Chains A and B, each alone.
Chain A
């Protein structure tokens, strides 16, 4: 009978008292929850929460995303549900630069501010855009790959997914630089997609290698699951370890192991902890009425087997996320 009684009390109560000052509920919605990258973003968001709590600002960070990175409808529903919960603000990494425009517009109309992180949105109706300079990441990748290939040979670009702005920018940066700085390098495939999971990335890589294994000298993959999938496919065929130069993006634990063992010749690494941290911090500043930058760059670095033991790179490769995710 207890729940019923509580329900009755709940229905009877209708007095609204104002909230205590400086207390916010911020929803952080990643593209997915299975990649390690997002765990680091999550850690960064919690780090911001803990630091703010130390300053006496109570922030509840609600972390919620679709299980798979291509479930647009589920992400839209998540945004809508947070709007109905009237959270103080939403930090969103849009799965698709167009499909999420409508729900974000709806949220803002309902007076819930939205901050975009990681990946862009085809709209400028948001608080701030906090992300890696993805184009620059692609430029770094092309520069390193071109160099270790000696400026010649055949290259494959395995794309990630259609409509994902962040990876499309990396791909564009890679292709532009290759064309400009390494005219002797030939692009033999750039129309295949890794898809949302390691399994789909692995399959796409196997198919590509079945066709191009004899011709290819260098490969670029623009995110975690495509990098892991392609490296695995290269190993299966005995092409790993430098026979085919492999350039990846993001520091998942598998990619870092592959970098150590020499199966990957370079990783372009973002700082996901800083991204999560900066997103929550910026949202809180906005909620406090402070003016915030419309575009915030969270940095990108090139890590190779040679420089991977430098302290700064060590933290990027093995983000200390356990520290914040308890």
Chain B
């Protein structure tokens, strides 16, 4: 590939985000004008001059950007873990349930009066353990990741309900935990809520891990050609166990953010979150057959999904149309990406 093409494939997801933002900005501007027009029954151009563009301003405004960033955190952190798994040619369907389970665990630890640091550390370990079991089963029994993690999805969901006693676990009153995902000042972009910084920090860490370390090269190698990797001396089973365990810790981190956001551990929450996470990674340019994918792309993918939700909401579309549109955009984004890659390969 030429340098230009590498650049193009690197920034592909950005085009997607730009497209979504531009689409909504245009629709909102048109809607603002139309609203104005119906009020004064003037012509389009008169209405365009007179409109205040409240909807457009709300969409591009600092408050909204901050809100979207905050709303993306849970999917984005999960997408980081999932990027590793998908690049290695696997998949983890237990992500959503793992988020629910770890959010319940974290809340339970806090209710028991553990110091927050200990509660967080053990929650991360629990997430790692879930991933460790996934990885071990997949690597040692050579089972399909799809099946193993599908099973684990049910196991985690059930465990979450069990641990929580079929109820939501409320964090102790006056706990500072909500501050992680809360913002006092919506009028200025900074200071960003801690959850957003955490996402960016984890993103940088993972990017370094994937790009600069031997482990990271192995992840790409296994995803590109597992058999060749094995023959060239990579200990594929061990690598897989590490990949899934690390991913589990990322999901636990998502779970912590979920708990902070709801101020409770919710055993029936985060249903279908794994699909949002996988969609983010795929929109970000990863291939479900392994070998390609990027950290930055996945973060942008998470932003694309959340921008779609947020934009639909600002457009006043009912929830069911949002679901249809997000589904369609996922297909479209991946379709465009394949087309782009096919052209690049020629």
A72 near B170: Cβ-Cβ < 8 Å: no
Contact between chains at A3 and B26 (CB < 8 Å): yes
A-contacting residues, B144-183, CB 8 Å: 166-168, 170, 178, 181-183
Which of A13, A67, A81, A99 sits near B310, CB closer than 8 Å?
A: A81
A257 → B minimal CB distance (Å): 26
List the B residue with the shortest CB-CB distance to A58.
Answer: B39
A81 touches which of B33, B67, B263 (Cβ 8 Å): B67
Asked if B338 is an interface residue, CB under 8 A from chain A, the answer is no
Residue from A6, A9, A76, A105 within 8 A of B262 (CB atoms)? A76
Q: Are B313 and A77 in contact (CB under 8 A)?
A: yes
B262 touches A73 (CB 8 A): yes
- Choice from A6, A16, A81 contacting B26 with Cβ under 8 Å: A6
The answer to the question of B119 belonging to the interface, with a C-beta cut-off of 8 Å to chain A, is no
Of the stretches A82-90, A131-139, A145-153, the one at the interface is: A82-90
Confirm or deny: B314 has a beta carbon within 8 angstroms of a beta carbon on chain A. Answer: yes
Residues of B within 8 Å of A96, CB to CB, are 168, 262, 264
- Contact between A73 and B61, CB atoms less than 8 A apart: no
A73: chain B residues at CB < 8 Å are 74, 258, 261-262, 269-270
With the chains together, A13 CA to B262 CA distance in Å? 39
CB <8 Å contact, B263 and A67: no
Contact with A along B249-272 (1 / 0, CB 8 A): 000000000100111101011100
Q: Which of B's residues lie within 8 Å of A, judged by CB?
A: 22, 25-26, 29-30, 32-33, 48-49, 51-56, 58, 61, 63-64, 67, 70-71, 74, 166-168, 170, 178, 181-184, 186-187, 258, 261-264, 266, 268-270, 309-310, 313-314, 316, 318-320, 323
**A163-B168 in contact given A3-B30, A102-B178, A102-B182 (Cβ < 8 Å):** yes
Take A6-B48, A64-B318, A109-B186 as given contacts and tell me if A162 and B168 are in contact as well, using a CB distance cutoff of 8 Å: yes
- CB proximity of B28 to chain A, nearest CB, Å: 8
**Which of B166, B183, B264, B320 has a CB less than 8 Å from the CB of A193?**
B166
Given A64-B318, A85-B55, A101-B263 in contact, is the A70-B268 Cβ separation under 8 Å? yes
| Contact among B29, B184, B270, B316 for A10, CB-based, below 8 A | B29
Give the nearest-CB partner of A99 in chain B: B262
B172 to chain A, nearest CB (A): 11
Which residues of A have CB within 8 Å of B70? Answer: 80
Note all chain A residues with C-beta closer than 8 A to B51. Answer: 13
Extra A-B contacts (5), CB below 8 Å, given A73-B270, A83-B186: A64-B318, A73-B258, A84-B61, A106-B182, A110-B186
Please tell me if A189 contacts chain B, counting CB pairs below 8 Å. Answer: no
Q: Is A66 among interface residues, defined by CB-CB distance under 8 A?
A: yes
- A98 to B320 Cα, complex, angstroms: 26
Instruction: Determine the chain B residues whose CB is within 8 A of the CB of A74 once the complex forms.
Output: 319
Which A-chain residue is minimally distant from B311 (CB atoms)?
Answer: A81
B63 & A84 in contact (Cβ 8 Å cutoff):
yes
Q: Please, could you name 5 A-B residue pairs with CB atoms under 8 Å apart, sorted by A?
A: A10-B53, A81-B313, A83-B186, A98-B168, A99-B264
> A6 CA to B52 CA in the complex, in Å?
13
B53 touches A13 (CB 8 A): yes
Residues of A within 8 A of B314 (CB): 81, 84-85
Q: Which residues does chain A contribute within 8 Å of B183, judged by CB atoms?
A: 106
Which chain B residues lie closer than 8 Å to A85 at the CB level?
Answer: 54-55, 58, 314
CA distance A96 to B29 in the complex (A): 35
Per the bound structure, the CA–CA distance linking A80 and B264 in Å amounts to 18
Cα of A86 to Cα of B49 in the assembled complex, Å: 22
Cα separation A65 to B64 with both chains bound (whole Å): 19
